[in-house]
């Protein structure tokens, strides 16, 4: 083994460990890996930065922008409006939602499709008095399944298609993934609808009934500052008896006026009403010390919180939100004290303690209060997904048809090789912008920049694997390990290995690592590379065992009230089914 090979194995191993650890976001890890291969001379400067101009990177970004245009046109809302009234039966409810998100995910970013239907799923669950836990994990899994069906459905497919072009000169086409991916998606949706959702722990359905996602009565209490209270004249920030890890001041009211974002230097006066957040038992222990008089039930406070221009919004933090890794003080600074956290649920658990020390994570559910006029801007600026009920916004029929026509036209240009797929999508984006489907300020709003950086950073790492001969070394080891086994079992080994990696690290990174290795194995066996690349594409999209393998799983964890160990219960049998049906399908559609 050469020095360069040792270096790239060390860098790759450290990168995979950092991906799995999750301490640093995956784009930072990818940039670190890119810098390392550049510093050690494993790639040239041109090769190190060429990844950011790679067709796969451009295509992923373009798909995200087009997804936003389709949403703006009301395409999803129109489709949903026809299906969702027929959700009275639980099986039909799950089948319609899962089937719809699966279909949409084939033609737009799968996380984007999930984001569009997440509030719809919660609203329909509440309407039928069902727990969101019953429908949200099926919704997330459906979004992942649908992405397998076309080249643009998920980043791993785009990566695999582009890598084939690098190796053979010809990329996989738009629908080359469909014969296998569509079958897997259909069988997967049937499994989820008939059997899979029943494997979710039943206590999630009871613990997370629709009305229990957030109960403000668990968080808020009103007390009045009495005449002889030692708090009179003290600034809010100076009230040490209340500013601790268990109790916090949410706001101060005088008379009927409620002020949430109280000036920290405001001096308390007699008859001021303090709105406190914390465990009621702990609050009661403080009443005697501070001479505070209990006022009203917390349920009354909930009504006050939404009086006038104020609004409560339930939302989930996405992986790209600037709040990830930050705390409440950052949120208040970022929004100039216009937004306040009233409640938070983390990994399916309600938090009734002090929130200011909590570090936000993707999947956390927040109950936020701000002025009604600011809600939409807040959700966009902070990359939050709303969970509250909303009506289906049906776009004008003409706009929907035009938007679909532009999208279909772009696909046709790419499929018939009039333009490269990336070029066809860029043309579609330009047309959408000219026709007003994409306002200038919103064009790049939904681009998942960490994913773009991840792809651009990991592509040179993959090239270093090939240029140093490390790929051939790993391929030789696997070929020797599987010596004497039929190609069927070699493909199964690649598929299962890719599945395992995808469950613990980002699926795009998994595809970038496994694609050159699979091609190396195929070359050493003297067979076509296509079935091996397809095995990697499918395996990289099968992140069903954990909430961290795919953003869709992360996003539903908080709203569904799931625990980390809930996912494998439905995910493991689903991955087994996919393994059993996909390998024969691959060999049939893409013979050796």
pLDDT at 248 over 90: no
Considering just the CA atoms, what is the radius of gyration of the chain in Å? 26
Task: Tell me what pLDDT residue 493 has.
Answer: 93
pLDDT at 441 over 80: no
Task: Tell me what pLDDT residue 161 has.
Answer: 92
CA distance 27 to 151: 23
Residue 328's H or E segment, with its range, is helix 328-334
- Across 193-213, b (16+ Cβ under 10 Å) vs e yields beebbebbeeebbeebbbeeb
Q: Give the pair of three-digit tokens for residue 45.
A: 């400067």
Q: How confident is the model at residue 518 (pLDDT cuts 50, 70, 90)?
A: very high
pLDDT at 398 over 80: no
pLDDT at 35 over 90: yes
Mean pLDDT across the chain: 81
CA distance 317 to 324: 8
Task: Tell me what pLDDT residue 245 has.
Answer: 54
Please give the average per-residue pLDDT across 288-311, as a whole number.
Answer: 60
pLDDT at 385 over 90: no
Q: How confident is the model at residue 291 (pLDDT cuts 50, 70, 90)?
A: confident
Q: How confident is the model at residue 220 (pLDDT cuts 50, 70, 90)?
A: low
Percent pLDDT > 70 in the chain is 84
| 3-class secondary structure, 469 | coil
Find tokens 């899994």 and name the residue. 141
Please give the average per-residue pLDDT across 131-140, as a whole number.
Answer: 90
- Residue 332 phi/psi, 5-degree rounding, is -70, -40
- Residue 46 phi/psi, 5-degree rounding, is -65, -40
CA distance 522 to 590: 13
Q: Per residue in 415-430, pLDDT tens? A: 788 888 889 989 999 9
Task: Tell me what pLDDT residue 389 has.
Answer: 47
Q: Give the pair of three-digit tokens for residue 218.
A: 């668990």
Who wins on pLDDT, 169 or 303?
169
Q: Quote helix, strand, coil % in the chain, to nearest 5.
A: 60, 10, 30
Q: How confident is the model at residue 349 (pLDDT cuts 50, 70, 90)?
A: low
| 3-class secondary structure, 51 | helix
74: left (phi over 0), alpha (psi -120 to 50) or beta: left
- Cα 396 from chain centroid (whole Å): 29
- Residue 207 phi/psi, 5-degree rounding, is -70, -25
pTM: 0.74
Residue 292's H or E segment, with its range, is strand 292-294
Who wins on pLDDT, 117 or 218?
117
Domains and CATH numbers, the chain: 75-207+469-589 (no CATH), 216-305 (3.30.70.1450), 310-386 (3.30.70.1450)
């Amino acid at each position: 083994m050469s020095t360069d090979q040792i270096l790239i194995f060390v860098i790759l191993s450290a990168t995979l460990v950092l991906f799995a650890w999750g301490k640093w976001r995956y784009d930072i890890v990818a940039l670190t890996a890119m810098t390392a291969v550049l510093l050690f001379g494993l790639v040239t400067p041109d090769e190190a930065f060429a990844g950011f101009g790679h067709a796969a990177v451009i295509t992923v970004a373009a798909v995200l922008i087009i997804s936003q245009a389709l949403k703006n046109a009301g395409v999803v809302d129109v489709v949903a409006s026809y299906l969702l009234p027929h959700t009275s039966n639980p099986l039909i409810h799950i089948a319609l939602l899962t089937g719809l998100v699966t279909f949409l995910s084939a033609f737009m970013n799968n996380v984007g499709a999930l984001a569009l239907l997440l509030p719809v799923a919660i609203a329909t669950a509440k309407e039928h008095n069902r727990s969101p836990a019953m429908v949200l994990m099926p919704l997330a899994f459906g979004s992942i399944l649908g992405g397998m069906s076309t080249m643009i459905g998920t980043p791993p497919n785009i990566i695999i298609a582009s890598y084939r072009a690098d190796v053979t000169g010809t990329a996989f086409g738009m629908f080359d993934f469909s014969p296998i991916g569509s079958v897997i998606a259909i069988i997967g949706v049937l499994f989820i609808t008939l059997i899979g959702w029943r494997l979710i722990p039943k206590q999630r359905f009871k613990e997370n009934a629709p009305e229990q996602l957030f109960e403000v009565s668990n968080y808020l209490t009103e007390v009045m500052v009495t005449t002889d209270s030692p708090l009179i004249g003290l600034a809010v920030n100076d009230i040490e008896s209340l500013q601790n890890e268990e109790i916090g001041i949410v706001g101060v009211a005088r008379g009927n006026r409620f002020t949430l974002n109280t000036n920290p230097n405001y001096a308390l006066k007699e008859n001021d009403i303090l709105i406190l957040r914390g465990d009621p038992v702990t609050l009661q222990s403080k009443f005697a010390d501070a001479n505070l008089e209990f006022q009203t039930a917390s349920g009354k406070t909930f009504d006050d919180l939404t009086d006038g221009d104020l609004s409560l919004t339930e939302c989930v933090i996405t992986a790209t939100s600037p709040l990830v890794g930050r705390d409440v003080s950052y949120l208040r600074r970022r929004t100039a004290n216009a937004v306040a956290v009233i409640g938070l649920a983390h990994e399916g658990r309600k938090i009734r303690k002090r929130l200011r020390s909590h570090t936000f994570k993707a999947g956390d559910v927040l109950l936020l209060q701000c002025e009604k006029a600011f809600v939409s801007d807040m959700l966009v600026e902070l990359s939050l997904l709303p969970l509250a009920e909303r009506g289906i916004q049906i776009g004008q029929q003409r706009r929907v048809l035009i938007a679909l026509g532009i999208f279909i036209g772009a696909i046709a240009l790419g499929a018939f090789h009039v333009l490269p797929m990336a070029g066809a999508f860029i043309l579609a984006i330009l047309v959408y912008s000219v026709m007003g489907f994409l306002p200038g300020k919103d064009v790049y709003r939904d681009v998942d920049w960490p994913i773009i950086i991840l792809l651009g950073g990991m592509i040179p790492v993959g090239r270093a694997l090939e240029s140093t001969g490390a790929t051939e070394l790993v391929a030789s080891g696997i070929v020797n390990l599987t010596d004497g086994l039929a190609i069927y079992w070699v493909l199964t080994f690649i598929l299962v290995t890719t599945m395992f990696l995808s469950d613990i690290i980002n699926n795009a990174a998994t595809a970038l690592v496994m694609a050159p290795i699979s091609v190396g194995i195929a070359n050493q066996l003297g067979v076509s590379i296509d079935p091996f690349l397809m095995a990697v594409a499918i395996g990289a999209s099968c992140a069903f065992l954990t909430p961290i393998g795919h953003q869709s799983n992360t996003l539903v964890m908080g709203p569904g009230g799931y625990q980390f160990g809930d996912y494998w219960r439905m995910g493991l049998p689903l991955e087994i089914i996919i393994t059993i049906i996909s390998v024969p399908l691959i060999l049939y559609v893409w013979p050796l």
